[in-house]
Every structure is written in C-alpha cells, then in structure tokens.
Structure 1
Amino acid sequence: MKAWPKVDLGALFHVEKGKVGIMAATPGSFPLVTTGEAFGTHIEPHFSGDAVCIPLISATGHGHASLKRLHHITGDFAVGSILCACVNREPERVMGRFVYYYLSACKDSVLIPLMQGTANMSMKVGDIAGVGLPLPHLDEQRVIVARLDALIEKTREVEAHLDAVERDVEHLLALRFRDVIADAPLRPMADVAPLVRREQTIDLDGIFPELGIRSFGKGTFHKPPISGSEVGTKRLYRIEPGDLLFSNVFAWEGAIAIAQPTDAGRFGSHRFITCRAVPGLVTAEFLRYYFLTDDGMLKIGEASPGGAGRNRTLGLEKLMAIQVPMPPLAAQQTFDRLQADVAALKAKHAAIRQANAALLPATLERLFAGSA
C-alpha cells in the first residue's frame, strides 16, 4: 500500500445513528439498511447521498465483539437504529464506496476495538467519526473501486454459472430417477429397510460422540461428545456407516441421511430412526434419494402428523408402512453411480466456491495492508 495521507472519517462524512427500529419499520418504497445482507424497506427516507452504514452492535453479543458486514448505499434511504449512517459530505475528495471497501477490509483492526460493554458490546457514533481513513487522490480511488467492483462482478458470474450447472444436473438426475421407477413395484419399508436398534450400555465414565442430521438432505454432522453422566436417562443407539437415518422430529423437512464412514463410532438418541437396507434388494442411497423427492417427502409428511416443528413426529410404524418403489437392483446401482458423479461435481464446485469467496478478502487485505 502507498503512504496515503489519513483523514478522520468525521471530517469527510456526516455520521449519525439510524432513526428507525428495524422491526418497527413500515414497509414502503425506500430501502432500509439493516444488519442483514438484504435491505428492508420503509415508507420514508431519513438520509440521502453516498453513504457507508456500519452496525453499532456486536453481531454475536455475549461479550464478544464482531461485525459481519457493512453496507454502501446511494440515493434516498432509511437506516435501522442499531446502525449508523456515514453520509459523504466531501464528494470531491472521497468516494463512499472506497471507504466501504477499506472499512470492510480493516474492520477487525479499525472498528472492532471501538466496541465496549459486557453482554452487548457496541460502538459510539463519536468514536466512529474519529476513525482515520487513508485518502488517496480521488482519481486513484476511482481506479481502485472500479477494480474491486469488477472483481465482485466476476465472482458473482462464477457463482451464477455453478448454480446453473448444478440446477441442470439435478434436473437430469430427477428425470433419470423418474424413468428408473416407472412401473416399478411398491414394497413397504419394513420389507426393504427395516428398523435397526443397537442400544448402547451407558458407562458413567465413558465418552459418547453424538451424530446429528441436517435438514433438507444436507447430510450428517458431528456433535460434541458427552460423558456417560451427562447422558442421564437418555437412551443412546450406535450408528454404523451405511445406515439410513431419519430424525423423527425433522424428517418432514428433509432431515434424512446416510451414515458415512467418518460417522463410525457415533451415537444417536431415540430421536434417530435407524434403518438398514436389505442387501441384494435395495440400496440406502436409492432410498434416500426417493424420500427427498416430492413424492417421498409427501409420504414422510403423512407419516409425521401434528403441527409444526417438534410437534410433527415421524412414527416408527408409519415409516415402516410407507410403500417405496423397487426397480431392479442393477437399475438402482446405475442410478447411484449417477448420484455419486453429481456429488463429485458438487464437491469440485464447493472448492471453486471457497476459492472464489476468498478472492475479494485477499485482494482487500493486499490492497490495504498496513493502512489500519
């Protein structure tokens, strides 16, 4: 970074706290800046111009100072009362978007130290006004902003392309599945993937790593281990790789997964329904895909009576009675290979997304290194 001169933010921007409670805002035609990624709306604007909006309250609370995001906005707008608006009053000297990029890059060293308090850490408007900003010539700011805006646009294009590819392959996979199960006979789950319970004896001195299931078909995750004394009266059941798992309270929203090799040695409570596909008849991968289709989710929903959330419980007998399509095993295995190919593609995309997401922060870090 060049040795740019520094100027206090308050010498360039009018800094003022937002004027409307986010939850109390009345939807209207003007953007309302919130702490979230997307703006809300309000019936009237409170500010106008080229502005940077900064949250005043820690994003995490509980005595921990953090900021997730800042916003840049132009025109007429409103701002939530837990943020401050820094409105540019020296447009011939500074660009709001340049300052937005700088503060986003250096928030941990420039803004976070301003937070005070115990449970709810926050910043004062006056302290924000005293933040020193590096101030290159306006022409240089324009070049920097154009470069960073172009980088953001490129990363968005990459994300959009990956999303489009994944939508296409998911659509093709669904069409293939439709063909595979066409005219296939139906059999109850009790015949093809019966319930398996491996109750674990609880040693009070033992350690039991638990497993969780993400909703919407997002797979399993590892919970922190608990001690035998923490288990109390709860029953634990051993889970083995290849098990078809259902969360009995969230199966209705797609908490259905297959235990992976990395899940070996973990346990689930009575809230987990563990089924084992009958070898030579059906594959767990095929059943999982079926249950996450519209038809499968409809049947899971019908087997999970009640209201919302934890009041909708998947019954064991109802699950075992669900009729599932049973095409020939060879057809299932061919489809499973397609599923594996799609999963491999998504894994590659995930790596690309991760690298793509790191481009802007890395560029900002290089650009503003040593400027805080």
Structure 2
Amino acid sequence: MKLPERPLGDAIRLNLMPVDVSAGTNYPIAGLYSFGRGFIRRPTIDGSETAYSRLFRISKDQLVMSKLGAWEGAFAVVPDEFDGAFVSPEYPSFDIDSSVATTAYIAHLVRWPAFWERVNPRGSMARRKRITPARLAEIAVPLPDLEEQRRIASRLDAAEERLKEVGRQRDYSIKLHDSLRESMFSNEQLGEPARLGDVLTLERIPAIIDPEENYTQIGIRSFGKGIFHRDGSLGSELSKLKYYEIRPGNLIVSNIMAWEGAIAVSSEADNGCIGSHRFLSFKPTESVDIRYLSHFFQSRQGRELIKTTSTGTVLRNQTLSIKHFENLKVPLPPIGEQKRVASILERSNVIQGRVATQGELSNTLTRSLLHAAFSGKL
C-alpha cells in the first residue's frame, strides 16, 4: 500500500539557537557524515579558535542537515550524546512537530537513499550546491498517520538492532584477527634476521604490448586487502608507462603505497595480468614461504620496517626504494614454522573475507528495509 505523502515542512519547523562566541569559552563541535551515518564528534574548541562570531546549539530530537552535504544524505536526528553540541551556520536545525511525525520515523526517513534523491534529483544542476531550509520543507515525503509511523519505526528499530549486533561481531572478529597476527610475529616467536635480497629476487618480465590485444592491469589495495583487477584495456589505450607480466606466487609490492600495507601475494587468478613499473614483483627462494612474508608486512613490526624504505615528504606519495627494501633484515624462523604461521593466518583471512561479506550484506539489507518501509511494503 502506497503511503500518503505530504511536504516535509508540515512535520518540521526551523529552530536555530545562535550563541555568541566568546574567547575563553569551550564549544563541543559536531558535524554530519554523509549517507545517513549520523553525527561526527569534532574536537572541542576555544572561542578564539574559530572565525565564526556565532555558533548554533543543537538539542536532542532535533533534525539537523548539512546544507552542503544534504544531497548525499548528511542528515540526522540529534541523539542524547550530542545534546547541547554546537554546529556552524552550515547546519540548520529543525524541531519535529510531534502532532504530525514521530522522531523515530523521521530519523529513519532521512537515512532513506530515495529521500536524498528527492532533496536533489539525479542530473540536477544544483548538485553539490547548498540545500536551503526552505527547499527541504518543500520536499514531498511519505507521511502516514502517527500509528503507522510508530509501527514502521518499531520494525526498523528491531531490524537495525539485529544488524548492529552483526556489526559488533564483525568488529570483534577483526580485532581477534589483528591480535592473532601480532602474536604470531611477537619477538619471542621470530627467528634469525635474513636480508630480503638474499631470499627474494626482483623479477621483471617486460610485457610486449600489442595495440590490438586486451590487457588486464592489477592494483593492490592498502591495509593488506589484496590484489584487484582493473577493467580490461586495449594495448593502444594503455599509458606510456612500462608494463611487466605478473606471475603467480610472487610478492607484489606497490612502490608508492607499500608503507600503507599495499603488499600482496599474486595467485593463479593474476597470471597473465600486467602491472606498471610501480608494482614490484619479487620471486621467493625455497628458504622462504612468501605468504609468511606478506603477513609479516601487515604486522606492526613489518609496517614500521617498510616505512624505513620509503622516501618522499608527501604523506600519500612515499616511494619505496628497491635497494633499501632488499637490504631490509627480516626475522625468519625455519621454513616449517613459516608455513605453520602462514597457514593459520590464511585460514583467519578466509574467515575475515566471510565477515566482510556479511558487512556488505548488512548494508544492502538496510537499504532494502528502508525502501520497503517507505514504499508501504513493510
């Protein structure tokens, strides 16, 4: 059953609470995440630290929006922990008329992606421009009677609580995985230091690019999240960079993002792909399990070592020196112990992959529930 619609302005009323800013007074500052993710706790500031002469206090159960970010879901209802926080003039606040709408219903409504589209339709030239309170009030939204609003909000609250529990379990699983990895590479577990250049060989097989052939390039995600494939491109569409073949079973290192964990082991799925000169491929000797090294470089100790090989002053562009990398001394236990540690962490990685999939499914389910609720199908 399609829900009746009314202008949102029937349910909300602009209510700004300006406060003159004074030096020597502290102001706890709040902001808003995009995509309906709620409030951001920003650092408390002294009045002397802002150029604004006035800030605006927000109160529990008010609706707050970001004028600049409204088009991508920067809305939220003020929870207890942000009651009394301050925002800039870019964040207007609204009282919710309890005779027309419930706070819980509005809190869910503003997280609905279709609502964001109504705020600023696709293709609108106003995209990325400020949304005014007057514009927000004009938007037609599903607004049934209070009893139906309470029913919808109650069902969404219950579903959300179950999904939050999934999220808590996911976070706990990630912490366990990180703790397991750190314990595996604790000092008392590690073996004698070995120079990387003695156990790894830089392997560079130039790719002969045919303009008419299709090529798949690799990339490496930071924080140990592995290799991914870019969309295929004709040889004639590739840049003028040098390209090299990717062979399975090698340690692939991004020479500009290694410091952030962009290191991975190539697999059979990567065989036949190409990588630019920015992806260094190292072939292991029989004395090292390449999986062990890859996991080691995701540990705290490994990340600190990698940082010593990277040069450059720009945080996001610290180029790894091949010479420095090959001269690194990495503690290596006997090969049998390397395989044992690698196997344990590989199994843990599989579990983490399943956990990540659960997180993606939770996000999809949340969007589906919101769509069903405000389409009259819940």
Aligned-partner Cα distance in 1 for 2:312–2:194: 26
Q: Which secondary structure state, in structure 2, belongs to the residue aligned with residue 204 of structure 1?
A: coil
3-state SS of 1:50 partner: coil
CA distance in structure 2 between the partners assigned to 1:13 and 1:355 by the alignment: 33
User: For structure 1, which segment, 328-337 or 31-40, has the greater mean C-alpha deviation from structure 2 after superposition?
Assistant: 31-40
Partner of 2:124: 116
Q: Equivalent residues in 2 for 1:217-228 (5 A)?
A: 217-228=224-235
Displacement, 1:235? 0.9
Shift of 1:101: 1.6
For structure 1, the residue ranges without an aligned partner over 5 or more in a row are 21-25, 60-65
What is the CA–CA distance in structure 2 between the aligned matches of 1:351 and 1:223, rounded to whole Å? 21
Residue in structure 1 matched with residue 318 of structure 2 by the alignment = 312
| Residues 302, 108 of structure 1: alpha-carbon distance in 2 compared, 3 angstrom cutoff | closer
Partner of 1:365: 371
Q: Which moved more, 1:268-277 or 1:72-81?
A: 72-81
1:7 aligns with 2:15: no
| Alignment counterpart, residue 250 of structure 1, candidates 241, 249, 257 | 257
Deviation at 1:288, TM superposition (A): 0.9
2: CA distance, partners of 1:13 / 1:233: 57
- Bigger drift between 151-160 and 45-54 goes to 45-54
Structure-2 change in CA distance of 1:231 and 1:143 (3 Å): closer
SS of aligned partner of 2:56: coil
Write the letter of the residue equivalent to 1:70. F
SS in 1 for 2:304: helix
Contact 1:215/1:253 (8 A) holds in 2: yes
Confirm or deny that 1:95 pairs with 2:102.
yes
User: TM-score, normalized by length of structure 1?
Assistant: 0.81
Contact 2:59 2:78 in 1 (8 A): no
TM (norm. structure 2) is: 0.80
Assess if the C-alpha contact under 8 Å between 2:223 and 2:261 holds in 1.
yes
What corresponds to 1:185 in structure 2?
192
Distance change in 2, residues 1:330/1:117 (3 Å): same
Counterpart secondary structure, 1:249: coil
The structure 2 residue matched to 1:152, chosen from 156, 160, 167, is 160
Alpha-carbon distance between aligned partners in 2 of 1:208 and 1:306, rounded to the nearest angstrom: 31
Confirm or deny that 1:67 pairs with 2:72: yes
Q: Which moved more, 1:358-367 or 1:113-122?
A: 113-122
Equivalent residue for 1:238? 245
Aligned position for 1:45:
56
State the alpha-carbon separation in 1 of the partners of residues 296 and 76 from structure 2: 42
Partners of 1:79 and 1:85 within 8 A in 2: no
The 8 Å contact of residues 4 and 134 in structure 1, kept in 2 or not, is answered as yes
Per-residue deviation, 1:211 = 1.1
Q: Is the 8 A contact 2:120 2:127 kept in 1?
A: no
3-state SS in 2 of match to 1:71: strand
Q: How far apart, CA to CA, are the structure 1 residues paired with 2:26 and 2:156?
A: 32
When residues 237 and 139 of structure 1 are mapped into structure 2, their CA distance, relative to the original with a 3 A threshold, is same
Q: CA deviation at 1:205?
A: 3.5
Give deviations 1:45-90, integer Å, cap 9, x for gaps.
Answer: 255563333454578xxxxxx52453112644555555554432x2
CA distance in 2, matches of 1:179, 1:322: 17
Shift of 1:338: 0.6
Aligned pair in 2 of structure 1 residues 369, 336: CA closer, same or farther (>3 Å)?
A: same
The equivalent position to 2:209 in structure 1, one of 179, 199, 202, is 202
Residue 299 of structure 1: which of 282, 296, 305 is its match?
A: 305
Q: Which residue of 1 aligns with 2:144?
A: 136
2:360 equivalent to 1:349: no
SS in 1 for 2:252: strand
Q: Work out which of the residue numbers 166, 174, 177 in structure 2 matches 1:166.
A: 174
Q: Deviations over 1:295-321 (max 9, x none)?
A: 222222222233233653221122112
Q: For residues 26 and 220 of structure 2, what CA distance do their matches in structure 1 show?
A: 37
CA separation in 1, counterparts of 2:221 and 2:17? 37
Q: In 1, distance between residues paired with 2:125 and 2:179?
A: 51
Separation of aligned partners in 2, 1:77 and 1:176: 44
Q: Report if aligned partners of 1:17, 1:83 keep a CA contact under 8 Å in 2.
A: no
Q: CA deviation at 1:286?
A: 0.6
Per the alignment, do residues 331 and 230 of structure 1 end up closer, same or farther by CA in structure 2, a change over 3 Å counting?
A: same
Judge conservation of contact 1:49–1:87 (CA < 8 Å) in 2: no
Indicate how the Cα distance of structure 1 residues 19 and 237 shifts in structure 2: closer, same or farther if over 3 A, else same. farther
Task: Tell me the distance in 2 between the aligned counterparts of 1:163 and 1:33.
Answer: 22
Distance 2:238 2:16 in 1: 48
Deviation string for 1:118-162 (max 9, x for gaps)? Answer: 674664543421223433343443343233233323322221122
Match of 1:216 among 223, 227, 237: 223
Amino acid at match of 2:347: D
Contact 2:212 2:235 in 1 (8 A): yes
SS at match of 2:78: strand
**Alignment size in residue pairs:** 356
CA-CA distance at 1:195 after TM superposition:
0.8
Relative to structure 1, the CA distance from residue 216 to residue 99 in structure 2 (aligned partners, 3 Å threshold; closer, same or farther) is: same
Deviation string, structure 1 residues 313-355 (Cα, Å, up to 9, x no partner): 2211221121222322222212221112101211221232233
Preserved contact between residue 120 and residue 126 of structure 2 (Cα < 8 Å): no
Percent of matched pairs sharing the same residue: 26
**C-alpha distance in structure 1 between counterparts of 2:116 and 2:28, whole Å:** 34
Deviates more, 1:341-350 or 1:73-82: 73-82
- Please say if 1:284 is aligned against 2:253: no
Aligned to 2:22: none
Q: Which moved more, 1:4-13 or 1:254-263?
A: 4-13
Q: What secondary structure does 1:276 align onto? A: strand
Give the aligned partner of residue 52 of structure 2.
none
